[in-house]
A and B are shown apart, each in its own frame.
Chain A
Amino acid sequence: MGWVPPRRQVAIAGIAGALGLLWLIAIASYQSIVGFEDRMRWVARSHDILANIEEMSADYAQTRGSWYGYMATGDQRRLDTFRVSSERVREQIERVKTLIEERNQRVSLLALEQLVHADLSRLADLAAVRDDNHALIGGPNEIFDALRASAVQIRDLQSGLVEEQHDILQRRQQESEDAGTFIRAAIAFGYSACLLVLTISLLYFYREAQARIRAQARIMDLNRALHERADALQSINKELEDFSYSVSHDLRAPIRAISSFTHILEQEYGPALDAEGLRLLDVVRGNAERMGSLIDDLLAFSRVGRQSMAPAPIEMTALVDEVIASLRVDSRNGIRARIDIEKLPAAVGDHALLFLVWSNLIDNALKYTSKVEQPMIRIAGNSDNDWTVYTIEDNGSGFDMQYADKLFEVFQRLHHARDFPGTGVGLAIVKRIIDRHEGRVHAEGKLGEGARFMFALPIRGGAHDV
């Protein structure tokens, strides 16, 4: 792949940056438009100022003209014209004053105003003292010279103002153009940058979406594989079930036959056999029986793993009473041990399976206390936030702690069958059931002093079908 996609954060930052840039462009455009309008107003004002100054020049010229006319002829209308024009010149100066803001222009304008006012007052004064007989025309030259000089001064100031105003105008137009150029460049650059960043970011997100689609396809593939595996497991499970079904049916019949026919042989031909012959028959029968128990227990163990679970709240004290009652019924000689049961905390679990747990544990305790003079069994329980823990303690033959972890394995026994009969499946069944409840088992013991078995059931989240 030639193009390495940027990190997701960079792509998001790029989009955010592009949006920010768009905002900046929008603000700049707005400000540029506002600035442009501003400058247009300034340009319009400059034009206004120039027009007023032009008008003022014309009116001033008219003032001078009508004054000369009056002075030469004494014509009253000329005098009126002179006065009206003078007034207009003053008004125009006032108006220009309101328009001009530049400091040096104002200074020039004030100078012009002073000159014009002085000039017009002098003209008015001279007009007031006009005498037909002493017409000024052809009068003293120094007065005319002064008037002429004043007119020249006024004209120079006016042209100065006009020139400056032209400069200002030109400057503003230049500024306007520069601002336009800048904003055009800014917009062009900004949009290009935005487009570039957005394109790259979108390209990245497109690639990311593609990758996600690919990942999804992969997940679906994996799911399919998982389903296939689950199916395979199910079929293996089915095979196991078939196997144990066959064991249940087919393996028992020959054992029953061996056991029964040895029995018949002993009954019907016993007298023909000597003591050794009878002992050997007994060995055969004993082994057939043992084989039968092994098969039964193994089937029970396998069933415990397959059986479906129906978790429900369980009154543990009542369950233990029930178990002991059923053991009492099963035992041939009754129960010799003293069994103390404390009040047990309730739990959630499968009734039938937990029945099996207690029946195996209590049966074990009864078995291993059977050779003690005063057999005692104590059953207790307590719970904290997470676990309910049950304990069954006995003063029986106990076991060596170094083999403690073997206790819960199938067919593992720590005692010889001649001492205590059994197949070594009971505790494996206990562990399997507690495992299915997501609980824990634990055993402690001391050889010749007794054993203590504990199992803990989780209080929340456990005990669901596995």
Chain B
Amino acid sequence: MFNTGEIDILLVEDSDTDSELTLRAFKRQRLEARVHRALDGPDALDFLHARGTYADRHAQRLPRLILLDIRMPKMSGIEVLRRVRADPALRMIPVVMMTSSDEPCDVEAAYRLGANSYVVKPLEFDDFIHAAEEVGVYWSRLNEVASA
């Protein structure tokens, strides 16, 4: 059900279509095997803390990147970001907000809480694939991460 091996990217996305599109983009860059998709905020936090359905996951193995949608059921991406940044074990993981909204209030809240980047999902297929590829490649391959 989930990837027990090493995970580069935690994709937190409630929309199946957006998730599929993102994964398609990653597939082109051969990143898809190292992606885990969480369905919402609590699911993502469970994964990060290796608890609940993820209890047998190796908690020490943290993703190199969290891709976070904002508008999700149960808990907003902004709240997930706040909790990640408040947790000493998780706070060093780069977080890229990837969302439909370009509302200034969302952008402001994300950066205030310590998001590393804010990407608005393009509406056009080509643009979207391109953006997702670049984000995936840059943050999971090029970017150096501090060890927690």
Contact = CB atoms under 8 A, between A and B. Distances in A.
Nearest to B123: A292
B102 interface: yes
Given A260-B125, A289-B124, A248 B102 contact: yes
Interface residues of B, number: 21
Contacts of B102: 248, 299
Nearest to A300: B102
A216 to B, nearest CB: 41
Q: Residue among A255, A259, A289 with the most chain B CB within 10 A?
A: A259
Contacts of B140: none
Given A249-B71, A249-B100, A261 B126 contact: no
A252 interface: yes
Given A255-B123, A264-B24, A289-B123, A249 B128 contact: no
Contacts of A256: 17-18, 21, 100, 121-123, 128
Greatest chain A CB density within 10 A among B104, B121, B125 is at B125
A117 B117 CA distance: 142
Contacts of B128: 256, 260
A264 B121 contact: no
B135 to A, nearest CB: 16
A248 to B, nearest CB: 5
B101 A248 contact: yes
A127 to B, nearest CB: 141
Interface in A356-415: none
A264 B105 CA distance: 33
A256 B124 CA distance: 7
A341 interface: no
Contacts of B99: 249
Contact of A250 (B71, B105, B122): B71
B133 to A, nearest CB: 14
B38 interface: no
A270 to B, nearest CB: 14
Contacts, number: 59
B15 interface: yes
Interface string B105-148: 10000000000000001111110100000000000000000000
A45 B144 CA distance: 130
B105 to A, nearest CB: 8
Contacts of B103: 244-245, 248-249
B125 A253 contact: no
A257 B17 contact: yes
Most chain B CB neighbours (cut-off 10 Å) among A249, A250, A260, A307: A260
A423 to B, nearest CB: 13
B70 interface: yes
Given A248-B100, A289-B124, A253 B17 contact: yes
Contacts of B21: 256-257, 260
Contact of A253 (B15, B24, B122, B126): B15
A252 B98 CA distance: 13
Nearest to A252: B100
Interface of A: 244-245, 248-250, 252-253, 255-257, 259-264, 288-289, 292, 296, 299, 303, 307
9 shortest interchain CB distances as A-B pairs:
A263-B125, A292-B123, A257-B17, A260-B125, A249-B71, A252-B100, A248-B101, A249-B101, A256-B123
20 contacts: A245-B101, A245-B103, A245-B105, A249-B100, A249-B103, A252-B101, A253-B15, A253-B17, A253-B18, A256-B18, A256-B122, A256-B128, A257-B15, A259-B124, A260-B125, A260-B128, A261-B17, A263-B126, A264-B24, A292-B123
